[in-house]
Amino acid sequence: MHPTPTSRVFKYHSSHIFLMLIALVLSGTGVALAAPVPSPPSIAASGHLLIDFDSGRVLSEKNADQRLEPASLTKIMSAYVVLRELKEGNISLAEQVVVSEKAWRTPGSRMFIEVDTRVSVEDLLKGMIIQSGNDASVALAEHIAGSESTFANLMNEHAHRLGMDSTHFVNSTGLPDKDHYTTAGDIAKVSEATIREFPEYYPWYAEKEFTYNKIKQHNRNKLLWRDDSIDGIKTGHTEAAGYCLVTSAAREGMRLISVVMGTSSENERAKQSQSLLNYGFRFFETHRLYAAGETLNRGRVWKGDKEQLAMGLAQDLYVTIPRRRSKDLRAEMSVEPHIMAPISKGRELGRVTIELDSDAIANVPLVALEQIHEGGILRAVTDSVLLWFE
C-alpha cells in the first residue's frame, strides 16, 4: 500500500505566470472584469454536443448519449478506418481499386464511379470525404475488408477502442438500418481522433469541391463558405435521421468540435452549429498549463542510485475556462511522502489538481519522468537509518 499523499501548492513557472497574466485586459481606468458566462443557446436538434478539442471539456450538450441514426456521419468512421490502413502501410493512396457492381449501384449521394473501372484510393477517399459518395464508401470497404459487412466489423472494433460504447455500425455509408446507430458523444470521439491522428489528411475535410469523371460536386458543409475558422467535418441526412452536421473550428489557438444531429433542414443544421461554435469561442478560452515531460517537481528518492527524481505529466494539460479567469486558477500537487526505489519511468507518484472557485476542473496523475534503480548496500543502510529517525 502506498503511503498517504501529502499535499502542497506548487509554484507556476514563468511561462505559466504569463498564461495567467494575459487574461488581464488593461484599460485606462484599471483591469477589465471577467464577463459572466450565460447558459448555452437552445439548439433545435434531437441531440447535440459542443466540446473543446484539447481539454475535452463539454461546453454544451443535450441528449449527447442518446442513440440516434447517424446517416452519413457514419463516413467519419469509414474514413478513419481507411486512414488507419494508410498509416499502418497496408494500402497506399495510389493503389487502384476495382469498382464492383454493388458499389456502383449503391443508392444515395455518389461520386459517380463506374462499374469495373479502376479508381485510386486517394480519389475514393476524397469522393467519400468531400462529396459524401456512398459508392466510394462501399468500394473502399470492399477493397480493404473483402466485403462491406466485414468492413463494418472493423469499424466496430475501432469504435470500441475509441470508447464509442453506444455505437454499432452495419454499413460504411450510413444508409438506414435498425442496428446502425451512434450518439453525439461517440461521433465527437472519432472526430477528435481523426483530427489528432491524421493531420496530413485532415485538410481534405475543408476542401469545398472535388471533381471526378468531369463532374464537379461541392462539399455539403455550408459553413465552409461562411466562416474561415471552420475546417470540417461532415454532413449527414436521411429522412429518419434528419439533417446532421459535425463541425470543427480553430480560433486563436482554441479548437472546438460541435455535433448537431436531427435538425429540420440544411440551413438549420448550419445555423445551429454556428450558434454553438460562436458561444464556445465567445465565452471560453483554453490554455495549455503544462507540457508533457516538463519537470514540475523534484522529490527525494530513498534507497536509489539517485537521490532526486524529476516528476511531471505524461500528457499536456489543457484547461478550458471562462474568459478572463486564468488569474483565478489554483494548482495543487499531492506527492507520496516516501518514494522508494526502484522507480519505473511513468509510474504514478501523486496527482496534480487545477481548481477554479474551489471546483476541481482537472485532476491528472503526477508521474516519474525518469527511471531510478536500487542503490548499493551502503545507500540502503544509510537511508534506512535516516528513515528511522524521520
Q: Mean pLDDT over residues 11-36, rounded? A: 40
pLDDT at res. 6 = 33
The CA distance from 104 to 75, in Å, is 17
Q: Mean pLDDT over residues 28-49, rounded? A: 78
The CA distance from 326 to 13, in Å, is 14
Catalytic-residue membership of 75: yes
pLDDT tens, 344-368? 999 999 999 999 999 999 999 999 9
Reply yes or no on whether the pLDDT at 26 is more than 50. no
Reply yes or no on whether the pLDDT at 29 is more than 50. no
- As to burial, measured by CB atoms within 10 angstroms (0-12 exposed, 13-18 middle, 19+ buried), residue 62 is middle
Query: What superfamily does domain 6-24+291-389 belong to in CATH?
Result: D-Ala-D-Ala carboxypeptidase, C-terminal domain (2.60.410.10)
Going by pLDDT thresholds of 50, 70 and 90, the confidence category of residue 376 is: confident
Catalytic-residue membership of 178: no
Going by pLDDT thresholds of 50, 70 and 90, the confidence category of residue 172 is: very high
Q: Across all residues in the chain, what is the average pLDDT?
A: 91
The CA-atom distances, in angstroms, between 127 and each of 67, 112, 172, 183 are 28, 9, 14, 25
* 320 vs 385, higher pLDDT: 320
Going by pLDDT thresholds of 50, 70 and 90, the confidence category of residue 35 is: low
User: Choosing from 55, 75, 100, 234, which is the catalytic residue?
Assistant: 75
- Give start-end residues of each CATH 3.40.710.10 domain in the chain: 47-286
User: Choosing from 55, 132, 191, 326, which is the catalytic residue?
Assistant: 132
* 191 vs 304, higher pLDDT: 191
Distance from the Cα of residue 167 to its chain's centroid: 17
Q: Are 140 and 128 in contact (CB under 8 A)?
A: yes
Reply yes or no on whether the pLDDT at 11 is more than 90. no
pLDDT at res. 302 = 85
Q: Mean pLDDT over residues 195-207, rounded? A: 98
Going by pLDDT thresholds of 50, 70 and 90, the confidence category of residue 387 is: confident
User: Choosing from 55, 60, 72, 137, which is the catalytic residue?
Assistant: 72
**What is the percent of the chain with per-residue pLDDT over 70, rounded to a whole number?**
91
- Give start-end residues of each CATH 2.60.410.10 domain in the chain: 6-24+291-389
Q: How many CB atoms within 10 Å of residue 146? A: 10
Reply yes or no on whether the pLDDT at 317 is more than 80. yes
Is the overall model pTM greater than 0.85, yes or no?
yes
Q: Confirm or reject CATH 3.40.50.620 for domain 47-286, answering yes or no.
A: no
Q: Where are the alpha helices (H) located in the chain, listed in sequence order?
A: 14-21, 74-87, 101-105, 121-129, 134-145, 148-161, 184-197, 223-226, 266-283, 377-389
pLDDT tens, 235-268? 999 999 999 999 999 999 999 999 999 999 999 9
